[in-house]
């Protein structure tokens, strides 16, 4: 099976859908997604989108909050560019029909909440399920558009580049993808390809991310010749629900923004001892504080308590969290919520410019897969969806500047020298080992020895996986594992190069901050 599009978008999160909708009036667009359209991190986003909407707020204040959270590594020009376009992108979502939570008493007409690291209420939201409200609205638009073709249950195998075609140059022509329904690899040609494939959270044992977050875009871009940057900066969200039946359920930052307090099992607070901003400190500070208290006291979890707020207030502001916790026997209007840190967001990724272009011609990266310079060493809460919107539009606008070119003939995927896998158990064992040692050795607190151990194990796993990949037909699990182990290697290699503690990267061997902030850039 073969497909051909003017633009191919890999991923169906907010970044991908935004790009598609801005392109669709003038281009034939294809979207491939590993599972169904809603099965990504954007749909899980609870808190909201940060943008300057209130008269008492300012672009400068949002910029400064972002720069402070980013610990000296944010690109200030990129930060100003993104923040300044925030209000118009929110208006675009409203025009698409997104039903943000209203507040008749606020001049904007909308309720704005405040999250850690923000000095103003500037997070617009749809109760505590903002991502779902945005995604379902945009998916309706995408499905209704005649120029957009949706290929669900298709996982990308690898990008098709000049190198793969034996040509001189560094250009992308589309990709190969596995149709998970019939098991065949299809060829998808495209004049422009946009990676909007999300993050890398499943490289860790504990994560708030959906199962699809396996670093596919970063790994494919690296194999295609793109630079990656700042992969050591993995944001661990401080408050993931701790419960045996609550896999990956996030307790939004906004709970602390609306007065939630972090407590030890005996009910005493501990954040004021770690930071003057207490519960409203940036995520890296809060995650390290919780990690410290848990290890110091031998705790399985700590507790987030918002039960001192009126019950009606809690149910109105956090209906999704209230219902989910209640189903597990926790009434958050009366009880504290057991929480632990979990891998949440990758601030690094494929290096791009302001137009979302990578080092490979006609290959773009938008959303969490990209490293744009906005987040620096630590992402400010609710800036991620804003980045998806601004760079999704930027990629579309750049693509529309150029006419569609004629593509060379692309060869079909060659399966002539492979057989069906004999033992799938190899994949599941390697997957489990990778995620466990990444959690143990490359987690919230790192050391040189831990990083060395992780890199050694990654090298052993890489050899096994490469041999498996060469000899057996590809499967969804094999492709994800192949991408995960490469992503893990890039994370560790970046971490080894950073001889300081900055933002989300904390090393016991290098506990101090260097005077000059530098990005960690890897080149294939």
- What is the spatial distance between Cα 274 and Cα 288, in angstroms, rounded to a whole number? 9
Nearest residue to 4 (alpha-carbon basis) of 398, 410, 289: 410
Residue 261: partners with Cβ closer than 8 Å, 6 or more residues away: 269, 271, 279, 304, 305, 306, 308
Can you point out the beta strands (E) in 163-264?
A: 172-179, 185-195, 228-229, 234-241, 261-263
Could you tell me which residues are beta bridge partners of residue 351? 371
- Which one of the listed residues 27, 114, 171, 283 is annotated catalytic? 283
Q: Which helix (H) or strand (E) holds 346?
A: strand 337-346
Q: What is the DSSP letter of 310?
A: -
CA distance 474 to 178: 8
Q: CA-to-CA distance for 487 and 234, rounded, in angstroms?
A: 12
Query: By CB neighbour count within 10 A (0-12 exposed, 13-18 middle, 19+ buried), where does 1 fall?
Result: exposed
Burial class (CB in 10 A: 0-12, 13-18, 19+), 80: middle
Give yes or no for a contact between 21 and 138, defined as CB atoms under 8 angstroms apart.
Answer: yes
Residue given tokens 């390290």 in the structure block: 288
Query: Which of 178, 235, 233, 171 shows the shortest CA–CA distance to 207?
Result: 235
Please indicate whether residue 283 is annotated as part of the active site.
Answer: yes
Burial call 180-202: b when 16+ CB within 10 Å, e when fewer: beeeebbbbbbbbbbbbbbbbbb
* CA pair distance 339, 317, nearest whole angstrom: 19
Give residue for tokens 């099976």.
1
Place of tokens 């290929």: 151
* Contact (CB, 8 A) for 488 and 438: yes
Q: Which residues pair with 9 in a beta bridge?
A: 31, 194
Buried b (16+ CB within 10 A) or exposed e, 292-331: ebbeeeebebbbbbbbebeeeebeebbeebbebbeeeebe
Residue 97: phi, psi to the nearest 5? 110, 10
* Tokens of residue 510, six digits: 């290098």
Closest by CA position to 358, among listed 523, 473, 509: 523
The catalytic site residues sit at 283
């Amino acid at each position: 099976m073969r497909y051909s599009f003017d633009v191919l978008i890999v991923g169906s999160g907010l970044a991908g859908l935004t790009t598609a909708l801005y392109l669709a009036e003038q281009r034939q667009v294809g979207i491939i997604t590993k599972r169904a359209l809603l099965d990504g991190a954007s749909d899980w986003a609870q808190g909201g989108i940060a943008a300057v909407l209130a008269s008492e707020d300012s672009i400068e204040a949002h910029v400064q909050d972002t720069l402070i959270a980013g610990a000296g590594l944010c690109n200030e020009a990129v930060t100003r560019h993104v923040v300044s376009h925030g209000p118009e992108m929110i208006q675009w979502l409203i025009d698409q029909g997104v039903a943000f939570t209203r507040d008749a008493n606020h001049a904007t007409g909308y309720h704005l909440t405040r999250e850690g690291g923000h000095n103003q209420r500037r997070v617009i939201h749809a109760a505590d399920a903002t991502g779902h409200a945005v995604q379902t609205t945009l998916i309706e638009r995408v499905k209704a558009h005649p120029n957009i073709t949706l290929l669900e249950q298709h996982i990308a195998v690898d990008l098709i580049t000049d190198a793969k075609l034996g040509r001189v140059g560094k250009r992308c022509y589309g990709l190969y993808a596995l149709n998970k329904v019939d098991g065949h690899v299809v060829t998808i040609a495209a004049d422009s390809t946009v990676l909007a494939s999300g993050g890398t959270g499943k490289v860790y044992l504990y994560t708030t991310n959906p199962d699809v977050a396996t670093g596919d875009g970063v790994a494919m871009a690296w194999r295609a010749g793109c630079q990656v940057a700042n992969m050591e900066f993995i944001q661990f969200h401080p408050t993931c629900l701790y419960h045996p039946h609550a896999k990956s359920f996030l307790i939004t930052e906004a709970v602390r923004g609306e007065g939630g307090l972090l407590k030890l099992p005996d009910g005493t607070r501990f954040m004021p001892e770690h930071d003057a901003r207490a519960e409203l400190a940036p995520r890296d500070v809060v995650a390290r504080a919780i990690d410290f208290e848990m290890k110091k006291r031998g705790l399985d979890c700590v507790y987030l308590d918002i039960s001192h707020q009126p019950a009606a207030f809690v149910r109105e502001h956090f209906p999704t969290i209230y219902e989910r916790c209640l189903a597990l026997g926790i009434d958050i209007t009366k009880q504290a919520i057991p929480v632990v840190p979990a891998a949440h967001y990758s601030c690094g990724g494929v290096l791009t410019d302001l137009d979302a272009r990578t080092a490979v011609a006609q290959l773009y990266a938008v959303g969490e897969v990209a490293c744009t310079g906005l987040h620096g060493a630590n992402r400010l809460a609710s800036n991620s969806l804003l980045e998806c919107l601004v760079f999704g539009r930027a990629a579309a606008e750049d693509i529309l500047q150029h006419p569609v070119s004629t593509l060379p003939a692309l060869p079909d995927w060659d399966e002539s020298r492979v057989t069906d896998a004999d033992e799938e158990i190899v994949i599941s064992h390697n997957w489990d080992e990778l995620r466990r040692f990444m959690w143990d050795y490359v987690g919230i607190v790192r050391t040189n020895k831990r990083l060395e151990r992780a890199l050694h194990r990654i090298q052993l796993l890489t050899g096994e996986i490469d041999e498996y990949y060469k000899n057996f037909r590809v499967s969804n699990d094999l492709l994800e594992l192949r991408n995960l182990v490469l992503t893990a290697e890039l994370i560790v290699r970046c971490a080894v190069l950073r001889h300081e503690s900055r933002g989300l990267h904390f090393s016991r061997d290098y506990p101090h901050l260097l005077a000059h902030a530098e990005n960690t850039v890897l080149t294939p």
